[in-house]
């Protein structure tokens, strides 16, 4: 709306000078080149740029110089080249001559509007609603390269439904048919550029990247696509510098924007913007600072061509994404012949000759004088002054001219909606009638590339990846080192020849750009609080976890399988050794040896008792119960051997069942002995009528009754959840222990609880009879034996639960041996001592005398 108001206010002026006066034939807004023809194609081109002269002195001393941009002038050369090529082609627009008009488009809307009004009226002075043109021959306008130029002209041209073909980079905002009904973009939408750059970063393992972007709508759109794509692939943005658009009235200070680049750790910088932005000013000072970074940019930004090349500078090794297009082989030959002598009316070409070939110009006509106009060629200029290869922008100009020509040719042949009449031998085509065909035009240009102006039907663009080689003395090349094809399957979209890449350091080694170095194998990432995910510390993997790769795969360590364990370096897993409480191990040998020795000792005690069975000591302590207790203790010692050796199903079941039954027999035997002693004392008291209990052998019935109850408990255990062979892969590092699982833990503790109940009953009975006369009393020994027995098993429970693996088995074996030894030692060793060593005390006379004395 602002542009329209300005436009109509301008038309209301009765008189406006269309030319600014400069000495020595300097820049004029009315400068233009016109070649007449039956049909004329107009072009608004940004041929002049503004340069900062005092970039090293700070913004307060900044000066501006306006001069012709030689590389932008390639757009004009391409326009003329395409028109002349069409004129030589007998199959396109035969007998129709094409002309052209080249007008200036400035970086600010004032200059562009002025050029448009001059083109519209055809005179140096503007008269409202009146044109000085004798005949309207222009049928289409070609505009570019920035969004500001194309949108401004699109607003004006849309009022007249005048076809406008834009050769700049694709702009989403220009793709609005309601706002720009007659605007056509030659460039393809760059929807996959962000993905291509991210794949390039992934390929070189760069995860710490800085962004320098023009603060204009296209730059903002690019950032909104690039940053999320980086996030999805685990890449981080080190910084984002948004540099505002500038024009000659509003320059920026270069020093405000290079602190992040100079002081930051990011070695890779993505540059995205337009040449006419402040980026050009900023980089004019960076070339002296030599930050030695790798720049990743696009071919639309030609700031490289504005630098001096007397040293190997920091832009050497930059990577450029350039839209892939065919090569027009005849273009370079055409450039060689493009001289002022061939095109004497071209004032822009004359100015180039003045700059590069030191020719003088006529102050009246602003044209190169005859004696030097034939000298030199643009093909002689170094690449940084003029690139002879057709740029992507020039390629779009080339296609735009052919699009107009094919549309006119189609209208001429089909005679569709055309009112053509002879007027001095010339054909007249109303420009607004081209719109309907331009929207659907499809053709193949002379180099074989398909062209389609409908954005919804355009192919996804491919990119050539160029490496910028910038050697001293202006020896520089853009070498193709790869290609990005977005329509290929994932994993095949990017292809690179890394051996051809020259980096800014002058070497072949790929530079590193990371916030934190990748963790080595055996370590994992620990994110730094408050920083990006690419910034982390490295921590050794926990026990039994490993990592054997670097990069994004090592955010977490991987746990080793149960049958393996992590190496000391945490880099791989090692197969665990299968082990058990074997007879060959020191612990197994010790326990088995102790069991056999104690079993032998028990057997010897049994032999002693049998041999001296008629002695008073043996008789006084109930021979039958003593034999049963000794035999059960023998089996108690032997059952501990079931816990040593490799377990199997049979041994696992026998371990617990045998242990429960034989210990029940042993403890119930002690209980029977204790009851017998108490009864023997009680029946000696006058008036007692319980002598029949002792004579009937009732105490001996305790053993089978108690044993049957334990057998029933074990039977229920086997029926519900019997013990089975199991493995323990976690108790001991590097080992898988084969052991017996109790099955039902409740049943196991029921067996132990039942034994504990019998033990406490025996201890209580023995404790009650501890003060009986010594002649008949072994209650003191029974009391002490049961005290030790209970202490062993009470200690067993917490120790058993605090140990694992083979040690747990050893604890159970040791408890069996210790408790059995307590019964054997406390009950029978004192009697064996009397039998074998004190014969004088093992006689009936001594016992009677002792009883009489008491």
Give the model confidence (pLDDT) of 612-627 as tens digits: 877 777 776 677 888 8
The pLDDT assigned to 316 comes to: 76
Residues 835-843 have a mean pLDDT of: 71
Question: Which pLDDT belongs to residue 200?
Answer: 93
Q: Quick one: pLDDT at residue 308? A: 47
Q: Topology of domain 623-724+741-849, per CATH?
A: Rhopdopsin 7-helix transmembrane proteins (1.20.1070)
Domain residue extents for the chain: 2-189+328-453, 193-325+461-500, 523-575, 623-724+741-849
pLDDT at 853 > cutoff 50: no
Identify the residue with better confidence: 414 or 140.
Answer: 140
User: How far apart are alpha carbons 75 and 143 in whole angstroms?
Assistant: 10
334's tokens = 């055409």
Q: What pLDDT is attached to residue 14?
A: 32
Q: Give the pLDDT mean for 638-646.
A: 87
Q: Say what the pLDDT of residue 102 is.
A: 92
The Cα–Cα gap between 301 and 304 comes to 8
Which of 102-106, 214-218, 481-485 has the lowest average pLDDT? 214-218
What stretch of H or E contains 637?
helix 623-639
Per-residue pLDDT at 80: 95
Burial class (CB in 10 A: 0-12, 13-18, 19+), 172: middle
Helix (H, G, I), strand (E, B) or coil at 734: coil
Examine the pLDDT at 842 and tell me if it is beyond 70. Answer: no
pLDDT tier, 21 (very low <50, low <70, confident <90, very high otherwise): very low
- For residues 463-467, give the mean pLDDT: 90
Q: Is the pLDDT of residue 812 over 70?
A: yes
426, burial (CB in 10 Å: exposed 0-12, middle 13-18, buried 19+): middle
Model pLDDT, residue 530: 77
CB atoms under 10 Å from CB of 362, counted, come to 12
Neighbours of 61 (CB within 10 A): 10
Q: Which of 26-40, 405-419, 472-486, 517-531 has maximum average pLDDT?
A: 517-531
At 249 the pLDDT is 43
Q: What share of the chain is helix, strand, coil (3-state, %, to 5)?
A: 45, 15, 40
Q: Which CATH fold would you assign to the domain 193-325+461-500?
A: Rossmann fold (3.40.50)
What pLDDT, on the 0 to 100 scale, is given for residue 22?
36
> What pLDDT score does 586 carry?
87
Q: Tell me the mean pLDDT in the region 726-752.
A: 84
Q: Which of residues 292 and 412 earns the better pLDDT score?
A: 412
Q: Residue 685: how many CB atoms within 10 A of its CB? A: 8
807 band by pLDDT with thresholds 50, 70 and 90: confident
Cβ neighbours of residue 368 closer than 8 Å, sequence gap 6 or more: 340, 344, 349, 350, 353, 354, 359, 360, 361, 362
Q: Does the pLDDT value for residue 93 go beyond 80?
A: yes
Mean residue pLDDT of the chain comes to: 77
Is 519's pLDDT higher than 80? yes
- Contact, 46 vs 146, CB < 8 A? yes
Mean pLDDT is lowest, of 411-415, 701-705, 752-756, for 411-415
Assess whether pLDDT exceeds 80 at residue 424.
Answer: no
pLDDT at 483: 92
Q: What does the alpha-carbon distance between residue 157 and residue 142 come to, in Å, rounded to a whole number?
A: 11
* Exposure b/e, 13-31, CB count within 10 A at least 16 = b: eeeeebeeeeeebebbbbb
Instruction: Answer yes or no: same fold for 193-325+461-500 and 623-724+741-849.
Output: no
Q: CATH topology for 2-189+328-453?
A: Rossmann fold (3.40.50)
Q: Shortest CA distance to 782 belongs to which of 706, 673, 707, 676?
A: 673
Residue 102 or residue 389, greater confidence: 102
pLDDT at 215: 80
Q: Six-digit token pair at 472?
A: 């001293």
Q: Is the pLDDT of residue 484 over 70?
A: yes
Query: For residues 129 and 11, is the Cβ–Cβ distance under 8 A?
Result: yes
- Any idea which of 133-142, 418-427, 516-525, 592-601 has the lowest mean pLDDT? 418-427
Of 164-168, 328-332, 476-480, which gets the smallest average pLDDT?
A: 476-480
Q: Higher-confidence residue: 318 or 27? A: 318
3-state secondary structure of 754: helix
């Amino acid at each position: 709306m602002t542009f329209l108001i300005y436009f109509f206010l301008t038309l209301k002026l009765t008189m406006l000078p269309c030319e600014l006066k400069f000495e020595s034939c300097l820049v004029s807004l009315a400068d233009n080149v016109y070649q007449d023809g039956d049909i004329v194609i107009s072009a608004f081109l940004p041929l002049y740029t503004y340069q900062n002269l005092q970039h090293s002195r700070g913004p307060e001393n900044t000066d501006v110089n306006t001069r012709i941009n030689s590389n932008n002038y390639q757009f004009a050369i391409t326009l003329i080249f395409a028109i002349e090529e069409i004129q030589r082609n007998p199959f396109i627009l035969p007998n129709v001559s094409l002309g052209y008009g080249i007008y200036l488009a400035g970086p600010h809307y004032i200059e562009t509007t002025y050029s448009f009004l001059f083109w519209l009226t055809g005179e140096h002075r503007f008269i409202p609603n009146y044109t000085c043109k004798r005949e309207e021959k222009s049928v289409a306008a070609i505009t570019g390269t920035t969004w500001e130029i194309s949108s401004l002209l699109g607003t004006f041209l849309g009022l007249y439904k005048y076809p406008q073909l834009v050769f700049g980079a694709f702009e989403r905002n220009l793709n609005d048919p309601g706002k720009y009904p007659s605007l056509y973009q030659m460039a393809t939408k760059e929807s996959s550029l962000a993905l291509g750059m991210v794949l390039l970063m992934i390929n070189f393992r760069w995860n710490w990247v800085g962004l320098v972007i023009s603060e204009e709508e296209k730059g903002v759109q690019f950032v909104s696509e690039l940053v999320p794509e980086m996030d999805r692939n685990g890449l981080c943005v080190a910084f984002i510098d948004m540099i505002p658009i500038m024009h000659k009235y509003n320059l920026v200070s270069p020093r405000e924007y290079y602190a992040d680049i100079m002081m930051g750790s990011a070695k890779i910088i993505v540059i995205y913007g337009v040449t006419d932005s402040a980026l050009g000013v900023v980089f004019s000072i960076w070339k002296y600072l030599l930050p030695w970074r790798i720049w990743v940019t696009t071919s639309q930004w030609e700031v490289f061509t504005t630098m001096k090349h007397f040293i190997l500078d920091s832009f050497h090794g930059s990577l450029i994404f350039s839209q892939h297009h065919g090569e027009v082989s005849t273009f370079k030959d055409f450039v060689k012949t493009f001289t002022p002598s061939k095109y004497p009316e071209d004032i822009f070409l004359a100015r180039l000759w003045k700059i590069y070939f030191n020719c003088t110009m006529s102050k009246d006509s602003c044209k190169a004088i005859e004696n030097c106009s034939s000298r030199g060629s643009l093909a002689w200029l170094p690449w940084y002054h003029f690139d002879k290869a057709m740029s992507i922008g020039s390629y779009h100009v080339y296609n735009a001219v052919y699009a107009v020509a094919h549309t006119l040719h189609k209208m001429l042949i089909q005679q569709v909606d055309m009112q053509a009449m002879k007027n001095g031998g010339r054909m007249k085509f109303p420009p607004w009638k081209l719109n309907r065909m331009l929207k659907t035009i499809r053709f193949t240009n002379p180099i074989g590339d398909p062209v389609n102006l409908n954005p919804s039907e355009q192919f996804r663009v491919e990119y050539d990846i160029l490496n910028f080689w910038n050697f001293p003395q202006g020896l520089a090349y853009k070498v193709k080192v790869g290609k990005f094809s977005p329509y290929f399957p994932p994993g095949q979209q990017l292809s690179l020849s890394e051996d051809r890449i020259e980096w800014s350091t002058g070497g072949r080694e790929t530079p590193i750009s990371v916030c934190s170095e990748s963790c080595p194998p055996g370590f994992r990432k620990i994110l730094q609080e408050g920083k990006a995910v690419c910034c982390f510390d490295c921590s050794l993997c926990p026990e039994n976890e490993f990592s054997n790769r670097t990069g994004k795969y090592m955010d977490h360590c991987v746990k080793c399988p149960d049958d393996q364990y992590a190496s000391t370096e945490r880099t791989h897993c090692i197969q665990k050794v299968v082990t058990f409480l074997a007879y060959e191990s020191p612990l197994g040998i010790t326990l088995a040896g102790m069991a056999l020795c104690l079993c032998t000792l028990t057997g010897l005690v049994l032999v002693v008792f049998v041999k001296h069975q008629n002695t008073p000591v043996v008789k006084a302590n109930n021979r039958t119960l003593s034999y049963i207790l000794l035999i059960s203790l023998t089996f108690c010692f032997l059952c501990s051997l079931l816990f040593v050796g490799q377990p199997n199903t049979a041994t696992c079941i026998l371990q617990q069942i045998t242990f429960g039954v034989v210990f029940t027999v042993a403890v119930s035997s002690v209980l029977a002995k204790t009851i017998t002693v108490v009864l023997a004392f009680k029946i000696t008291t006058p008036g007692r009528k319980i002598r029949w209990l002792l004579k009937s052998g009732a105490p001996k019935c305790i053993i089978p009754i108690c044993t049957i109850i334990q057998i029933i408990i074990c039977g229920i255990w086997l029926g519900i959840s019997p013990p089975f062979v199991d493995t323990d892969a976690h108790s001991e590092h590097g080992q898988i222990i084969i052991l017996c699982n109790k099955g039902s833990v409740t049943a196991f503790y029921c067996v132990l609880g039942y034994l504990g109940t019998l033990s406490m009953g025996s201890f209580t009975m023995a404790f009650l009879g501890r003060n009986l006369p010594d002649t008949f009393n072994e209650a003191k020994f029974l009391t002490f034996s049961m005290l030790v027995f209970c202490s062993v098993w009470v200690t067993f429970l917490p120790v058993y639960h605090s140990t694992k693996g083979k040690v747990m088995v050893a604890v159970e074996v040791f408890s069996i041996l210790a408790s059995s030894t307590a019964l054997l030692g406390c009950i029978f060793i004192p009697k064996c001592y009397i039998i074998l060593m004190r014969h004088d005390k093992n006689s009936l006379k001594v016992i009677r005398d002792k009883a009489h004395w008491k």
